[in-house]
Amino acid sequence: MADLSPGVASAISPLVRRIVAPNAGPLTGAGSNTYLVGVDEIVVVDPGPAIASHVEAIVGCGGDRIRWIAVTHAHADHAGAAAALAERTGAELLAFPAIAEGLVVESTEFGVLAMHTPGHSPDHVCYLLEEERMLFSGDTVLDGSTVMIAPPEGDMAAYLASLERLSSRRLRLRTIAPGHGRLIDDPAARLAGYLAHRLEREASIVAALEAGAVTIDQVVDAVYVDLHATLRDAAAATVHAHLIKLAADGRATGTDGAWHARAA
């Protein structure tokens, strides 16, 4: 199994190589994954953070065969190196909103489809490598760290709709290549687990409101057991995202930081 050491290009499938960026951390896991798709003509999916050694590693691997740079979303750990890499290679930059849906790369070897998958951010796009049914999921599905849905940019209702869409059997996904972490070889089970986890959390937030929690902090205390202090802000953002969705669903009301359950 290819490892996640930064700066090393490892083949993860016949058409795809991965280079992990040297930006490991609590929200980036082992580091951001940059994928090079293709042999004679290459699309770089998520060039990663603007770190010179990482750009060098990408150019060292793909050289002048890099024709396209496709970013999943504008966050700096995914797209930070896009401008530098485009300048070095002359590759065409592909990003939302110019691309959102449909065939965006067509080479002699492969085709890549874009799917607009908002939720983590409004501009998020996943890419499907048709030949291998591999989904480049950016920050929509991760391995080894939690997807942040933080309002106002993060939208829980949109996120759940995106997960539902990716769960469609018609996509015939074989693998998910996440923005952080290892290749996921059980896409259907992973997506079902993600959906179940979010719906469970939503249910426990409703239960916390019904038990008398009013502020986001009180909901966090009721829902998250043994929460590490460094993760408290992330938990509060996640709860906030759920509360906004519950309000839109007519299951909660919230004004001036006071939230209440509403009978369905």
Residues that bind Zn ion in the complex, under the rule CB under 5 A: 75, 139
Cβ-based nearer residue to Zn ion, 139 or 202: 139
Cβ-based nearer residue to Zn ion, 76 or 258: 76
CB of 171 to Zn ion, least distance (A): 22
Task: Report CA-CA distances (Å) from 10 to 39, 125, 245.
Answer: 14, 24, 40
CB of 29 to Zn ion, least distance (A): 12
CB of 213 to Zn ion, least distance (A): 29
Q: Of 46, 48, 40, 84, nearest to 66 (Cα)?
A: 40
CB of 215 to Zn ion, least distance (A): 27
Cβ-based nearer residue to Zn ion, 132 or 139: 139
CA dihedral 202, 127, 11, 181 (to 10 degrees): -20
Here the tokens at position 68 are 């396209």
Instruction: Give the containing element (helix H, strand E) for 240.
Output: helix 232-248
Cβ-based nearer residue to Zn ion, 139 or 155: 139
Q: Are 45 and 35 in contact (CB under 8 A)?
A: yes
Tell me which residue has its CB nearest to Zn ion. 75
